[in-house]
Amino acid sequence: MTGIIETEGVTKRFAGVPAVDGVSLSVSSGEIFGLLGPNAAGKSTMIRLLAGILNIDGGSARVLGHDLVIEREKIKSEIGYVAQSFALYPELTVAENLEFYSAIYTPISREKQQLLLKQFGLQRFAAQRAGLLSGGYKRRLSIACALAHDPQLIFLDEPTAGIDPVTRRELWERFYELAALGKTLFVTTHYMEEAERCNRLAFLHRGRVVAEGTLATIISSFTGHSVYSVASAHNAALAAGLLAMPEVLLLNQFGDRLRVITDSSLTPESLQRVVRRHCDAAIELVEPDIEDVFMALTHERGRK
Amino acid sequence: MRHVLALMKKEFLQLQRDPRLIGYIIMAPVVLLILFGLALKLEPENVKMAYVDRDQSMFSELIKTNIWNEGYFQLYEVADEAAIIRDIRDGRARAGLYIDGNFSAELTDNKQPTVHMYVDGTMPSLATAMDNKKAAITDDKVSSQMYFLEPDSENITIAPEPFLLDMQILFNPEKRETWFFLPGVIGVLIMQVALILTGTAIVREKENNTLEQLIVSPITRIEFILGKILPYVLIAFADFYFILALGWLLFDLPMPASHMSLFGLGLVYVSGLIALGLVISTLSQTQQQAIFLSIFVLIPSILLSGFIFPIEAMPTYIQPVAYLLPFTYFVEIIRGLLIKGSDLAVLVPAYAALAGFAAVFIAISIIRFRKTLG
Ligand SMILES: Nc1ncnc2c1ncn2[C@@H]1O[C@H](COP(=O)(O)OP(=O)(O)OP(=O)(O)O)[C@@H](O)[C@H]1O
Ligand SMILES: [Mg+2]
């Protein structure tokens, strides 16, 4: 099966400044593909390019087998798009929003609309104006609206931002159901735990892909670095001392543990020495996790 | 077409959820029409009339007394004819009367002398009123007393009227009536409703982020524009007849000779404005910008369309602007239909111009509305 999305050097500039810079990606059918990256990395821009909202400045892309530039209109009825910001008509009720969004594609029956509302826990709000829903329910409605026409490929731009963990889990259940039905999901997120839920990932940084693959391959290809856990609560002097070492890349405090990402040339002994100067904490070499990789990849390039 | 209907339904729902806006659509025209109607209809009273009486005879006195007795004018004397014009220009007087030195001499010679009256044309209703008073001034009561002069001279042919009244309208040679404005007022009110409603129609989608959702959908540009235009055409068209009905009920606005022509006018005018509103909407990023642009169109329409000042009286380099405004043609047609009773054939070019505007604006909005954002 060829890729549902195949991009080759896709570039988008705003006023000459690239927001997406030579991105080549491949997403295959039935997978949940995660696009990660810090703020302003170009995630939303990438999605809007692939959904045909923005025009590509350079490179080429095929979506669902159609050329994104030439055959844009052919793609439209087959894709769903959930924007990062809510795109609902606040004056219309929940049911009316869903009805409208289905009507501008191939209208679906009332029963199907009811079913969608039910799947997203929205039935009891059906007659309520969309503008009055809470943020989480607006998000559910946005997703339901984007699914109304049963698209093959669904773009979800931070679908779980600002969503409580229970709802987030529920949404992911839905995503898995969709993927099981053979739909392809293209998701952006800031949550590392969600990155782990994706089949494949790409890290975007300043418009460029800095890592791509499954979670395991991305972590295993994270060579040249070591991650230590220091059993110390926040300690400004310690942090300053560590950052003064040229081999220390960055620090990440988690409660009473400090994670230290270093160049692998740094020996545990020399790290221990510096730590001792400030406190009597034990250090431990740990496996890098996705967040370490994410931080290191985006940080490293930020320093250069 | 299914997509268009879906869009239309949504637009109507949105409007329905905004009761205040509906109130504005109905109430604003009522209030403004009554305001304009009254302001332009009020019968002037105590109109100051500057006069020069060089004749100082019993006959000239008779004319003045007659004018006084109308209970409409307050006469006061000024030095010369120039002073009359000056006083009218400066607003001290609204009318003037000039009786020449040899009035009674010519009268007795049956030479049919002329009495000159001046009216301030900037008060349109006054000009109409004066026209009606004219008859009262020259009526039989006065005239009969003047025929008396030489009842026996048989060799003199008596002119049908002993003297003539020459009425000159200053500053506004084209005589204006209440009705002269009212039809135009209808056009202004429709313009306000149409431009503001549609001007914000696409912008609102931008501000709601819903435009992106429409862009990713398979809706075509034409479907989108039609779905946006049609609901507002219906609303503005209903408003057009609503305001006309008010004019007919409250201000004795004349009926058109042909209702079909009026219907046609409403249709092309409203469609053109709604499309213009959409063009404005595609040019604007925020609702403020759209409203600003709407007013930017509204004001020159009111001032330069011949609605208030005759186009011929405007400097030649301004005149082309008038012909670029749809409202100019609306004013011409509706005055023709309701007041002058013009032949439809005369109005055909103006109809064509309005239809042309509608077509061009619709085309521009379709071209301007791209299915991408950049
Ligand atoms: N329409 C636009 N005009 C100009 N610049 C833009 C536009 N859209 C995005 N940008 C710029 O492009 C860059 C990438 O923005 P984008 O929204 O794609 O980031 P993102 O990865 O989605 O960020 P976030 O995580 O904050 O949503 C930013 O610097 C942004 O300012
Ligand atoms: Mg974003």
The CATH number given to whatever domain includes residue A34 is 3.40.50.300
Burial class (CB in 10 A: 0-12, 13-18, 19+), B266: buried
Least confident of A62-71, A180-189, B116-125: B116-125
- From the CB of A16, is ligand 1 less than 6 Å away? no
- Who among A53, A79, A87 is closest to B372 (CB)? A53
- Residues A121 and A22 occupy one common structural domain: yes
**Model confidence over A63-113: pLDDT tens digits?**
999 999 898 888 999 999 999 998 999 999 999 999 999 999 988 899 999
The protein residue with its alpha carbon nearest to ligand 1, atom 16, reads A42
Residue A301 has pLDDT above 50, yes or no: no
Q: At what angle do helices B124-137 and B178-199 cross, to 10 degrees?
A: 170
SS3 category, B251: helix
- Residues A215 and A240 occupy one common structural domain: no
- Who among A77, A86, A91 is closest to B17 (CB)? A91
- Residues A33 and A107 occupy one common structural domain: yes
The rounded distance, in Å, linking the Cα atoms of B172 and B310 is: 8
Residues of chain A contacting residue B5, judged by C-beta atoms under 8 Å apart: 103
- Strongest mean pLDDT among A281-295, B107-121, B172-186: A281-295
- Who among A72, A91, A100 is closest to B6 (CB)? A100
Q: What is the pLDDT of residue B338?
A: 82
- Residues A54 and A138 occupy one common structural domain: yes
Residues of chain B contacting residue A107, judged by C-beta atoms under 8 Å apart: 2, 6
ipTM: 0.87
Which is it for strands A32-36 and A200-205: parallel, antiparallel or unpaired?
parallel
Residue B74 has pLDDT above 70, yes or no: yes
| Nearest-CA distance B201 → chain A (Å) | 13
Q: What percent of chain A has pLDDT over 70?
A: 98
Spell out the residues 6+ positions from residue B267 whose beta carbon is closer than 8 angstroms to its own.
B237
Query: What's chain B's average pLDDT?
Result: 81
With contact defined as beta carbons under 8 Å apart, do A44 and B373 qualify? Answer: no
Question: In the structure, what pLDDT confidence band is assigned to residue B180 with cuts at 50, 70 and 90?
Answer: low
With contact defined as beta carbons under 8 Å apart, do B55 and B104 qualify? Answer: yes
- Residues A75 and A203 occupy one common structural domain: yes
Question: In the structure, what pLDDT confidence band is assigned to residue A205 with cuts at 50, 70 and 90?
Answer: very high
The rounded distance, in Å, linking the Cα atoms of A91 and A130 is: 7
**Residue of A239, A276, A280, A237 whose CA lies nearest to A258:** A239
For Cα atoms A219, A222, A223, give the angle at the middle one, nearest 5 degrees: 140
Residue A232 lies inside a defined structural domain of this protein: yes
With contact defined as beta carbons under 8 Å apart, do A7 and A69 qualify? Answer: no
Least confident of A153-167, B204-218, B299-313: B299-313
Domain hosting A204: range is 5-219
- Residues A109 and A175 occupy one common structural domain: yes
**B213 interfacial to chain A (CB closer than 8 Å):** yes
Q: What is the pLDDT of residue A303?
A: 45
**Model confidence over A23-56: pLDDT tens digits?**
999 999 999 999 999 999 999 999 999 999 999 9
- Mutation to test the B interface, candidates A49, A76, A78, A104, most B Cβ within 10 Å: A104
Q: What is the pLDDT of residue B122?
A: 62
Q: What percent of chain A has pLDDT over 90?
A: 67
| Nearest-CA distance A203 → chain B (Å) | 25
| Total domains, chain A | 2
- Mutation to test the A interface, candidates B5, B217, B222, B228, most A Cβ within 10 Å: B217
- From the CB of A208, is ligand 1 less than 6 Å away? no
Residue A161 lies inside a defined structural domain of this protein: yes
**B21 interfacial to chain A (CB closer than 8 Å):** no
DSSP β-bridge partners for residue B325: none
Structure tokens at A40: 């302003």
Q: What is the pLDDT of residue B170?
A: 74
- Residues A263 and A164 occupy one common structural domain: no
Mean pLDDT of A146-160: 94
Residue A34 lies inside a defined structural domain of this protein: yes
Question: What CATH number is given to the structural domain containing A248?
Answer: 3.30.70.100
Name which residue leads in pLDDT, B135 or A304: B135
Residue A263 lies inside a defined structural domain of this protein: yes
The protein residue with its alpha carbon nearest to ligand 1, atom 26, reads A39
Residue B355 has pLDDT above 90, yes or no: yes
DSSP β-bridge partners for residue B115: B165
Choosing from A202, A219, A236, the residue where a domain stops is A219
Q: What is the pLDDT of residue A21?
A: 94
Residue A144 lies inside a defined structural domain of this protein: yes
Residue B42 has pLDDT above 70, yes or no: no
- Residues A189 and A209 occupy one common structural domain: yes
Residue A66 lies inside a defined structural domain of this protein: yes
A14 CA from centroid of ligand 1 (Å): 9
- Residues A136 and A43 occupy one common structural domain: yes
Distance of CA B337 to the CA centre of its chain: 13
Residue A302 has pLDDT above 60, yes or no: no
- From the CB of A42, is ligand 1 less than 6 Å away? yes
**Which atom of ligand 1 lies at the shortest distance from residue A15's CA?**
4
The rounded distance, in Å, linking the Cα atoms of A175 and A182 is: 11
Question: In the structure, what pLDDT confidence band is assigned to residue A169 with cuts at 50, 70 and 90?
Answer: very high
The protein residue with its alpha carbon nearest to ligand 1, atom 2, reads A14
User: Cα Rg for chain B, rounded, in angstroms?
Assistant: 28
The DSSP symbol for B255 reads P
The protein residue with its alpha carbon nearest to ligand 1, atom 30, reads A40
Residue B250 has pLDDT above 70, yes or no: yes
**B222 interfacial to chain A (CB closer than 8 Å):** no
B346 CA from centroid of ligand 2 (Å): 60
- Residues A113 and A182 occupy one common structural domain: yes
- Residues A210 and A78 occupy one common structural domain: yes
Mean pLDDT of B66-89: 83
Q: Which one-letter amino acid corresponds to residue B188? A: V
Q: Please give, one letter per residue, the 3-state secondary structure of B289-338.
A: HHHHHHHHHHHHHHHHCCCCCCHHHCCCCCHHHHHCCHHHHHHHHHHHHH
Nearest CA in chain B to A154: B216
Mean pLDDT of A168-188: 94
Domains detected in chain B: 47-170 (3.40.1710.10), 176-368 (no CATH)
Residue A302 lies inside a defined structural domain of this protein: no
Choosing from A194, A219, A244, the residue where a domain stops is A219
Q: What is the pLDDT of residue A304?
A: 35
Residue B91 has pLDDT above 90, yes or no: no
Residue A185 lies inside a defined structural domain of this protein: yes
- From the CB of A14, is ligand 1 less than 6 Å away? yes
| Nearest-CA distance A211 → chain B (Å) | 28
- Residues A63 and A178 occupy one common structural domain: yes
Q: What is the pLDDT of residue B140?
A: 57
- Who among B6, B13, B218 is closest to A73 (CB)? B218
